[in-house]
Amino acid sequence: MTAPVIGVLALQGDVREHLAVLRDQGAQAVTVRRPEELAAVDGLVVPGGESTTMANLASRFGLLQPLREAVAGGLPTYGSCAGMIMLADTVLDAPAGQQTIGGLDVTVRRNAFGRQVDSFETEVEVAGVPGGPVHAVFIRAPWVEEVGPGVEVLGRVVGGAADGKIVAVRQGHLVATSFHPELTGDPRVHAMFVELVRAARARGLGSDGATAGADSEGRASRE
Amino acid sequence: MSQQHSESSDTTTGTVRVKRGMAEQLKGGVIMDVVNPEQAKIAEDAGAVAVMALERVPADIRAQGGIARMSDPDMVQGIIDAVSIPVMAKARIGHFVEAQVLQALGVDYIDESEVLTPADEAHHIVKTDFTVPFVCGATDLGEALRRISEGAAMIRSKGEAGTGNVVEATRHMRALRAGIKRLTTLDDTELFVAAKELRAPHDLVVEVARTGKLPVVLFTAGGLATPADAAMMMQLGAEGVFVGSGIFKSGDPAQRAAAIVQATTFFDDPAVIAKVSRGLGEPMVGINVDTLPESQRYATRGW
């Protein structure tokens, strides 16, 4: 079987780091800035960066609706930090009118841990990632305040002021983390996601998701 | 959900990874100079990844003269309260107390900037002492590596801020790129000499030679005024851009700001750059760098 094609949304953010880890994990990693590029991938990563900037650019370049349709149509998607915000159905502490891709039934709070002086590193146990806790880097990071019934909590912060806050979730084909595994050299979160993409492609779901990006079926609803 | 409770959990702030990682998140983006909360909102709505809070944009500092210092804390606070994107602010070169104040205010990044009047003729701020990360200007590779060794977590070209003339930024970007490329061709023996010539720490010189890039994110600053300026800098190897006077000294700041954001993302697509460059109104009035007296050249500040 050929390597799965995984796109990294390349409007802004730490795109290069995600591309490098995905390639190390055996994926064919490509950048996605246009609807036709989105239509050609088996999976998608929404990187860290500024969610307001990404949403703004996605909207101006006609990519937001195709992204919503692809994610709603089953395209396996992983979001780190700003990517988690982009995938969330509800965002708190965002500028009025900030749009997201949505699809992940969670409420996320932006900059929840504080400003940059509060950015930190710690260890987080992530369900589905074997081999001990993941070294997690949080940079002006969001956390998940509420999860819907179909959302599995994969990891929480342990200790400190933010003890117990949810920082890793999965809902079927969607995975999101508040932290940045792409910055640490630990490939295990990406490895889990690449496996998810392989499995989805084997079931033929990945190609449905990719097709959904190219036409207007399965309009994503935003409550 | 049951989680084991551990009060001894290792949680650390202000690490090199967190400081440099913050700059990684800004890549592909535009950081805009703003002087009040209204401008900050315009910048955020236009898609800026961060704003630089300052009292006067460089063009006004040039026009009005006098000593340029850190901004009024009330003004910085007003901008922090107005937007959700990161807020940066400038401290004078060597003025570590201005930096302490800015850190206490909660700014997300400090620019130790030659645009302000230097406070120390020999020493830059020891940036490793701070939790907040710093960006510093550089005209060439040696200067960039000296700033990184002091703890800078991000580097930008110096350019000539406030001129609307991109020629100096181009010179610095080309010098940085050429310096990096040259190191990758040297052997271990030659790298010792290169470190001496660059007046930079040997370990950083070796790291650049091995990786072919700076160990921190590299942005461009100084004199950018148009979407094409931003895209050119990205094609020359910048990972993002700072735009100062170029936006709010132009005819239609909101539209120009959005156009520069779009040109930075699609820097390699001339059709997009052409499209966003239409109908932007008047760009800022420029200054020819050749006519600037030496005392008004910012790029020569810092060492």
Across the interface, whether the CB atoms of A49 and B258 are under 8 A apart is answered no
Alpha carbon A199 to its chain centroid, in Å, reads 18
Whether residue B72 is contained in a domain is answered as yes
Structure tokens at A3: 């390597």
Whether residue B159 is contained in a domain is answered as yes
Best of A32, A110, A139, A179 to disrupt the B interface (most B CBs within 10 Å) is A139
Q: Average pLDDT in the B211-227 region?
A: 96
> Would you say B65 and B280 are in contact if contact means Cβ atoms under 8 Å apart?
no
SS (H, E, C) chain B: CCCCCCCCCCCEECCHHHHHHHHHHHCCCEEEEECCHHHHHHHHHHCCCEEEECCCCHHHHHHHCCCCCCCCHHHHHHHHHHCCCCEEEEEECCCHHHHHHHHHHCCCEEEEECCCCCCCCCCCCCHHHCCCCEEEEECCHHHHHHHHHCCCCEEEECCCCCCCCCHHHHHHHHHHHHHHHHHCCCCHHHHHHHHHHHCCCHHHHHHHHHHCCCCCEEEECCCCCCHHHHHHHHHCCCCCEEECHHHHCCCCHHHHHHHHHHHHHCCCCHHHHHHHHCCCCCCCCCCCHHHCCHHHCCCCCCC
Structure tokens at B216: 């921190």
Confidence of residue B134 (pLDDT cuts 50, 70, 90): very high
List, for residues B263-299, the tens digit of each pLDDT value. Answer: 999 999 999 999 999 999 888 777 777 777 777 788 8
Confidence of residue B2 (pLDDT cuts 50, 70, 90): very low
The pLDDT score that the predictor gives to residue B298 is 84
Whether residue B32 is contained in a domain is answered as yes
Tally of structural domains, chain B: 1
Q: Picking from A209-218, B217-226, B241-250, which range would have the lowest pLDDT averaged per residue?
A: A209-218
CA-CA distance, B259 to B256, in Å (whole number)?
A: 5
Whether residue B296 is contained in a domain is answered as no
Amino acid at A90: T
Across the interface, whether the CB atoms of A117 and B6 are under 8 A apart is answered no
The pLDDT score that the predictor gives to residue B74 is 96
List, for residues B24-53, the tens digit of each pLDDT value. Answer: 999 999 999 999 999 999 999 999 999 999
Note down the domain range covering B206: 16-289
Catalytic residue among A18, A81, A173, A190: A81
Q: Tell me which residues of chain A, numbers 171 to 210, contact chain B at a CB-CB cutoff of 8 Å.
A: 180, 183-184
Amino acid at B257: A
Give me the tens of pLDDT residue by residue for chain A, a chain 223 residues long: 689 999 999 999 999 999 999 999 999 999 999 999 999 999 999 999 999 999 999 999 999 999 999 999 999 999 999 999 999 999 999 998 899 999 999 999 999 999 999 999 999 999 999 999 999 999 999 999 999 999 999 999 998 889 999 999 999 999 999 999 999 999 999 999 999 999 999 988 544 444 444 333 333 333 3
Confidence of residue B9 (pLDDT cuts 50, 70, 90): low
The pLDDT score that the predictor gives to residue B283 is 81
> Would you say B222 and B162 are in contact if contact means Cβ atoms under 8 Å apart?
no
CA nearest to A193, candidates A39, A51, A83, A57: A83
Whether residue B9 is contained in a domain is answered as no
> Would you say B286 and B75 are in contact if contact means Cβ atoms under 8 Å apart?
no
Nearest CB to B11 within list A115, A160, A184? A160
Whether residue B2 is contained in a domain is answered as no
The pLDDT score that the predictor gives to residue A215 is 37
> Would you say B208 and B214 are in contact if contact means Cβ atoms under 8 Å apart?
yes
CA nearest to B215, candidates B301, B147, B264, B128: B147
Give the side-chain half-sphere CA count within 13 A for A97.
4
CATH of the domain at B201: 3.20.20.70
Whether residue B283 is contained in a domain is answered as yes
Chain A residues within an 8 Å CB radius of B262:
57, 60-61
Partners of B53 in the β-ladder: B34, B89
Mean pLDDT of chain B: 92
Length of chain B: 303
CA nearest to A10, candidates B234, B176, B18, B243: B234
Q: Is A18 on the interface with B (CB under 8 A)?
A: no
Whether residue B302 is contained in a domain is answered as no
Nearest CB to B47 within list A56, A93, A116? A56
Give the side-chain half-sphere CA count within 13 A for B114.
25
Torsion of CA B278, B282, B287, B289, to 10 degrees: -10
Across the interface, whether the CB atoms of B5 and A94 are under 8 A apart is answered no
The answer to whether B275 is a known catalytic residue is no
- List the domains of chain A with CATH numbers: 5-220 (3.40.50.880)
Give the side-chain half-sphere CA count within 13 A for B229.
28
